[in-house]
Amino acid sequence: MQSSIPPDTLPVLRAAVVGLGRIGFSFHAPVLAAHAGFELAATVDPEPTRRTEAREAWQVNAFPDLTTLLENDAPDLVVIASPTPFHRDQAVQALRAGCHVVCDKPVATSLADFDMMADAAKESGRHLIAYQPARFHPSISALKSILQRGTIGKVHTLVRNRCNFSRRNDWQALISHGGGMLNNYGSHCLDEILSLLGTPDFVSVHCITRRLASLGDADDHVKAVLHTTDGVLIDLTISQANPIEDVSWQVHGPYGSAVWHETERYWQVRSFDPIKHPPPKLQSGLAAGDRSYQTESLTWNEIRIAAADFPPIDYYGAVHAALTTTAAPPVNIAESRKLLELIARCRASADAGHPR
């Protein structure tokens, strides 16, 4: 997927944002208002003060609910940025009204809900596109370039940590609202991993969830160990109960490793050339030669790959291309379902207390 600003010959699409909370008001609405390919035509929120803020910020119509919007307008695109429990019904309603839909993560709280949304998209001939931007961050683009070069060989182990400390007390701290960090950060982290590894299948998924610092009842600490069918071991920690975060990414292959340095925003890659260093001869006897430990001397190559060398992706430019040309959407239906399948499998393992 390439960064794209639509040329003057392509249509400007009218967009509406449903939900003026953190992500809707601070990201989706202002990005669409400033984007060359879109006109921010309307917003939706049940809170009168938020509707007033939207009118003042972008001079747009602001409606109390999606039904009222669709009775008075016909946007090309509806962006669902409301809390997760509303996603299914709002997306289905917008799709059946003939609108394309971008839906924030997690797209749905269950596979059954997602399938209903996907069926509505198919029946209406409209796109349902998950908002999963993490896979397009420059740091991930840089890592993909490292793996494509084969510098460290085929990945055998991937360690991902995303941690902070927050005594969460909003709706995402409650199970009844689809909250919890497996749904929240997990949607990003697992999608990053699936994208990096080409949406693999899994031999086993072992997940443990805890509520440690949150004031609600949903999980705020997640530990998962996943094993893909092609032999990659994934060690994932997601937490809002860890004030000191470990290294956020470590990726290991038979010829080296890549480690992400968050503060300086670069990948440290250390590897050796397997052609210059063929494996030593195996000693089959029980007496180690010269009573020595392994003394192989390897020439290590070390490089830095900066995220700054990889431009950020224009997500809504890619959405526009998918809606107006034959370009593929930035995230397709199959990928979105694969992510929700994996989250569901992690949840089932945590509930059962053993791998699934």
Q: Where are the domains of the chain?
A: 13-133, 135-278+287-313+338-352
Q: For the chain, how many helices (H) and strands (E)?
A: 10, 14
The rounded distance, in Å, linking the Cα atoms of 178 and 86 is: 10
Place of tokens 């208002």: 33
| pLDDT number for residue 38 | 97
Residues contacting 280, CB < 8 A, separation 6+: 296
How far is Cα of residue 15 from the mean position of the Cα atoms in its chain? 23
**Pick from 302, 327, 308, 307: nearest CA to 317:** 327
**13-133 falls under which CATH superfamily?**
NAD(P)-binding Rossmann-like Domain (3.40.50.720)
The whole-number pLDDT of residue 8 equals: 63
- Token pair 């009844």 is at which residue? 176
pLDDT of residue 3: 42
Strands 233-239 and 221-228: antiparallel
Q: Looking at residue 313, what DSSP letter applies?
A: P
Beta sheet of 221-228, edge-to-edge order: 202-210, 221-228, 233-239, 157-163, 249-253, 256-261, 266-271, 301-306
Q: Which CATH class is domain 135-278+287-313+338-352?
A: alpha beta
| Equal CATH topology for 13-133 and 135-278+287-313+338-352 | no
pLDDT reported for residue 295: 74
The pLDDT assigned to 291 comes to 75
Number of C-beta neighbours around residue 296 at 10 A: 7
Per-residue model confidence (pLDDT) at position 246 = 84
Enter the pTM of the model: 0.93
Q: Where are the alpha helices (DSSP H) in 45-86?
A: 48-58, 66-72
According to DSSP, the β-strands at 233-239 and 157-163 are parallel
Whole-number pLDDT of residue 1: 47
Q: Which two tokens stand for residue 192?
A: 């990053």
Whether the CA torsion 85, 20, 42, 15 is positive or negative: it is negative
Q: Note the pLDDT of residue 235.
A: 98
Residue 122 carries which side chain, given as an amino acid letter? K
Give the number of other CB atoms < 10 A from CB of residue 141.
Answer: 16
The two three-digit tokens of residue 221, written as one number: 């600490």
Question: Minimal CA–CA distance to 321: which of 83, 98, 129?
Answer: 129
The reported pLDDT for the residue numbered 317 is 96
Q: Which portions of the chain are predicted below pLDDT 50?
A: 1-3
Nearest Cα residue to 36 out of 4, 74, 77, 70 = 4
Query: What CA–CA distance (Å, rounded) separates 351 from 207?
Result: 9
Place of tokens 């944002």: 17
The angle that helices 87-96 and 111-124 make with each other, rounded to 10 degrees, is 10
